[in-house]
């Protein structure tokens, strides 16, 4: 059980310049005893409203240096504070706000929500087990108008799709990776590098592109480029 869609916006000021980070958190727990299910005994149950308040307090107290570190903080807090918690999972995603620019000058307090992919992460831990961290990007919509085809595929009496050597390739990407038990990374830098790899492998060189014989091959190229650089 747990609390979904814990939403908040954190505002940070440096002189006149302001910075924002809006996130949504889902925090789920599994307790050491199922007595609330089997017997209706709620003595060990941490109310979901309490879970929400804890997440908000951690954000205010620790800040959010990265989504991954914030998810780690949530897991650590529940594991070290509540002995009745057997498992905790924290999912965190960020609203993609970007600072507005006017004639190339960054605005000090105005932002625009740009739908160019949503950053998210997960951290989970069982009691007496390692803390595992995942991260990713979703809702990343990409398109190229040429340098893509689909030929030589299996055909039978139900096949009506013609072969194409030149077609439009458009897709919405969901990419997720695991850091395993490693926690001492520059998560922000790694996320940016992986996003750059996704865009580069999909598009190819800016002056000529890269031919894609299938969506699957493009996905494989993305994975291989990420593994070679990160």
Do 8 and 46 sit in the same domain of this protein?
Answer: yes
Do 14 and 114 sit in the same domain of this protein?
Answer: yes
Split into its structural domains, the chain has a count of 2
Do 23 and 108 sit in the same domain of this protein?
Answer: yes
- Closest by CA position to 121, among listed 101, 137, 102: 137
Q: Is residue 134 assigned to a domain?
A: no
Do 110 and 219 sit in the same domain of this protein?
Answer: no
pLDDT at 184: 83
Q: What is the pLDDT of residues 110-133, one digit of tens each?
A: 999 998 899 999 999 999 999 999
CB-based burial label for 74 (10 Å; 0-12, 13-18, 19+): buried
pLDDT at 145: 98
Q: Is residue 70 assigned to a domain?
A: yes
Q: Is residue 178 assigned to a domain?
A: no
pLDDT at 47: 98
* Cα–Cα distance measured from residue 35 to residue 86, given in angstroms and rounded to the nearest whole number: 14
Do 150 and 106 sit in the same domain of this protein?
Answer: no
**pLDDT confidence bin for 182, thresholds 50/70/90:** confident
Q: What is the pLDDT of residues 136-168, one digit of tens each?
A: 999 999 999 999 999 999 999 999 999 999 999
Q: What is the pLDDT of residues 3-39, one digit of tens each?
A: 999 999 999 999 999 999 999 999 999 999 999 999 9
**pLDDT confidence bin for 183, thresholds 50/70/90:** confident
Q: Is residue 101 assigned to a domain?
A: yes
> 227 is in which domain, residue-wise?
144-169+185-230
């Amino acid at each position: 059980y747990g609390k979904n869609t814990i939403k908040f916006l954190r505002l940070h000021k440096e002189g006149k310049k302001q910075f924002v980070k809006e996130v949504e958190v889902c925090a789920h727990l599994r307790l050491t005893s199922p007595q609330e299910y089997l017997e209706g005994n709620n003595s060990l149950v941490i109310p979901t409203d309490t879970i929400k308040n804890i997440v908000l307090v951690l954000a205010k107290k620790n800040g959010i240096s990265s989504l991954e570190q914030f998810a780690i903080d949530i897991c650590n807090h529940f594991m070290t504070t509540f002995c009745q918690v057997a498992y905790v999972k924290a999912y965190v995603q960020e609203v993609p706000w970007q600072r507005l620019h006017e004639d190339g000058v960054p605005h000090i307090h105005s932002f625009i929500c740009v739908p160019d992919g949503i950053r998210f992460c997960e951290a989970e831990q069982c009691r007496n087990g390692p803390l595992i961290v995942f991260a990713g990007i979703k809702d990343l919509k990409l398109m190229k108008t040429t340098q893509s085809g689909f030929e030589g595929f299996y055909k039978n009496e139900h096949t009506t799709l013609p072969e194409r050597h030149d077609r439009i390739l458009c897709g919405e990407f969901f990419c997720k990776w695991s850091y395993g038990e490693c926690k001492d990374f520059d998560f922000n830098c790694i996320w940016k590098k992986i996003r750059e790899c996704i865009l580069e492998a999909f598009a190819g060189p800016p002056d000529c592109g890269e031919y894609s014989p299938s969506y699957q091959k493009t996905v494989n190229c993305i994975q291989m480029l990420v593994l070679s650089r990160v």
